[in-house]
């Protein structure tokens, strides 16, 4: 059962990664299909072995995946495709809430931790790729951002605070803690520039106008869309719905709207795939 689940989840992630890279969308049949197959396998195995624990584990994995999906979606970190896929992975991997009935492993939790870790690295590398690809626009916006008064003052204040904190560390704290604390203090300054880099990348490379006919469910709307005084869609919706797209198409057919400004996300599912493979390798190496 474990091997079948590993193979099915791997195939689903490969298909989802390819479609995400190609058209920035994960088909529902991949996510929903993974959930259905996961429950079908767990129910079958529970019936054959006359042990309901396998089905319970699948349900608990699904619930954990659902909770993570809702959290990441409403924080604006994942799109609908990413969120649905983690639910499917949760269902097929499962979570053992009854360790006395089997091995007390934490496949799912370790997978989520790896997704966050590899996702952060992947997102940063993809942003660097976008900066190089759109270097002219990126450099133009970089100069504009660095000249903003609030950015200039933030950099100055942060530098003063960090210098004062380092002086305090060097003069007050014991020697064995100094280097570690200086490292963490410096990281705050680095994180500010990472945040600045990401904001410029979004403005330079991820914001674009698309024809209404090219909109897909889950696209992130960057600016509020009004037809007259009627609100249609906007950033607060956390992804445009199918109904909103159909409504926009009707207005488009009447010539009232042609394009919509969206924020194009990073194709994140490949990070899921890398994290999944890393988790499998860790498992078979006996790391957990």
In a domain, 125, yes or no: no
**Is 111 a domain residue?**
no
Q: Is residue 275 part of a domain?
A: no
136 shares its domain with 178: yes
Q: Are residues 146 and 237 in the same domain?
A: no
Q: How many domains does the chain fold into?
A: 3
- pLDDT given for residue 104 in this prediction: 44
Quick one: 181 and 212 in the same domain? no
Could you give the C-alpha distances from 268 to 50, 77, 118, 120, 220, in angstroms and in order? 39, 10, 10, 10, 15
274 within a domain of the structure (yes/no) = no
User: Is residue 195 domain-resident?
Assistant: yes
124-175: pLDDT as tens digits: 888 888 889 888 988 998 899 989 999 899 888 988 988 888 888 778 766 6
Does the residue 247 lie in any domain? yes
**Does one domain contain both 197 and 239?**
no
Residues 151 and 198 in one domain: yes
Confidence grade of residue 71 (pLDDT, cut at 50, 70, 90): confident
Query: Across the strands, what pairs with 221?
Result: 262
Here the tokens at position 284 are: 């078979």
pLDDT of residue 14: 94
Distances (CA, A) of 241 to 31, 162, 214, 216, 268: 18, 45, 14, 8, 20
pLDDT confidence tier of residue 2, bands split at 50, 70 and 90: low
Q: What is the pLDDT of residues 198-249, one digit of tens each?
A: 888 888 888 888 898 888 777 788 888 888 888 888 887 767 888 888 889 9
What global pTM score does this model have?
A: 0.75
Is 158 within a domain?
Answer: yes
Determine what percent of the chain is predicted with pLDDT higher than 90. Answer: 10
Question: Are the CB atoms for 87 and 66 separated by under 8 Å?
Answer: yes
Which helix (DSSP H) or strand (DSSP E) does residue 253 occupy? helix 242-253
Q: Is residue 146 part of a domain?
A: yes
Residue span of the structural domain in which 200 resides: 132-205
Quote the DSSP letter at residue 25: -
The pLDDT value given to residue 76:
67
CB 83 within 8 A of CB 232: no
Residues 197, 218 share a domain:
no
| Same domain? 14 vs 92 | yes
Q: Which of 62, 89, 105 marks a domain boundary?
A: 105
Model pLDDT, residue 153: 92
Tell me if 232 sits within 8 A of 226, measured CB to CB: yes
- 247, with CB counted inside 10 A (0-12, 13-18, 19+), is middle
165 with 96, same domain: the answer is no
């Amino acid at each position: 059962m474990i091997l079948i689940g590993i193979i099915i989840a791997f195939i689903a992630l490969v298909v989802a990664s390819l479609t995400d890279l190609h058209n920035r969308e994960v088909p529902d049949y991949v996510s929903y299909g993974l959930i259905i197959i996961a429950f079908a396998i767990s129910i079958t195995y529970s019936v054959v072995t006359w042990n309901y624990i396998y089905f319970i584990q699948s349900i608990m994995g699904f619930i954990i995946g659902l909770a993570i999906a809702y959290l990441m979606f409403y924080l604006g970190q994942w799109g609908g495709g990413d969120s649905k896929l983690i639910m499917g992975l949760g269902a097929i991997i499962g979570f053992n809430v009854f360790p006395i009935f089997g091995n007390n492993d934490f496949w799912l939790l370790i997978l989520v931790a790896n997704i966050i870790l590899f996702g952060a690295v992947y997102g940063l590398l993809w942003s660097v790729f976008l900066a190089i690809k759109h270097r002219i626009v990126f450099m133009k916006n970089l100069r504009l951002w660095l000249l903003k008064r609030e950015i200039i003052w933030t950099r100055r204040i942060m530098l003063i605070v960090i210098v004062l904190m380092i002086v305090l560390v060097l003069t007050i704290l014991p020697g064995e803690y100094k280097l570690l604390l200086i490292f963490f203090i410096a990281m705050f300054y680095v994180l500010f520039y990472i945040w600045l880099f990401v904001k410029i990348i979004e403005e330079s490379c991820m914001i674009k106008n698309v024809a209404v006919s090219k909109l897909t469910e889950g696209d992130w709307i960057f600016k509020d869309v009004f037809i007259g005084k009627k609100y249609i869609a906007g950033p607060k919706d956390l992804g445009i719905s199918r109904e909103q797209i159909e409504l926009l198409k009707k207005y488009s057919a009447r010539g009232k709207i042609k394009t919509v400004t969206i924020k194009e996300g990073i194709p994140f599912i490949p990070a899921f795939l890398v994290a999944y493979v890393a988790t499998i390798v860790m498992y078979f190496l006996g790391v957990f």
